[in-house]
Structure 1
């Protein structure tokens, strides 16, 4: 057995195959079906992995809905402005972690309803 990693793995797989442990593999002898789309996205989806920026996107969407409800109840109160300031801080953090094409603009009292549509 060689110390070269490729040869080492070849030896392991070869021994496993010789022992007959690969005879009952699902799909053995059938052609492989190439996956469509981005291979990384497929692996992440299969592993039920959600990137941090997507989780943050969902949280921001919920916070926008809460801000709209607060605005409906209280009007343009200081509480609403504090809520918008926190949202915009969260959006800044989101924009630094997501792909550039997914970045979003800040939320104001005037554009909050339009921005909610963009976050859906």
Structure 2
């Protein structure tokens, strides 16, 4: 190989799509043949991605965690203090996971036993 030749590229996703297409996997896709709305071609690409993903029913991992945290906060006061402490520790692990995967402006503080009402308002 000379200095000017490029090494062959691996296009794993492209290969997968080609194989999928050969077996008919790309036939009869929902929305196939429909015009793409003009709004998809203007403005911010990331916002368009979010709208398309939302329209397709996709929910990001951090949003699933947000709902899980909100659900776990319900009925926490019915537990005995030791169980509450353990549950709050588990919830705070979920909060940390949430904060690692969500956009920075949407990150939230950990939960404390003294601030359960405030936590319900924040996460609810």
Match of 1:113 among 104, 114, 117: 117
Alpha-carbon separation, structure 1, partners of 2:97 and 2:34: 44
Kindly indicate whether residue 60 of structure 2 is the aligned counterpart of residue 44 of structure 1: no
Larger radius of gyration: 1
| 1:60-82 CA distance string (max 9 Å, x none) | 10001132xxx2x345x101101
| 1:30-76 CA distance string (max 9 Å, x none) | xx642577201111012110011101110010001132xxx2x345x
Moved over 3 A (4+): none
Aligned to 2:84: 80
Match of 1:100 among 104, 114, 123: 104
Alpha-carbon separation, structure 1, partners of 2:100 and 2:34: 43
**Residues 42/108 of structure 1: CA separation in 2 closer, same or farther (3 Å cut):** same
Q: Alignment length, in residue pairs?
A: 87
Mapping of residues 47-62 of structure 1, within 5 Å: 47-62=56-71
Task: Give how far 1:103 is off.
Answer: 0.7
RMSD over aligned Cα, in angstroms?
2.1
Taking structure 2 as the reference length, what is the TM-score of the superposition? 0.62
Taking structure 1 as the reference length, what is the TM-score of the superposition? 0.64
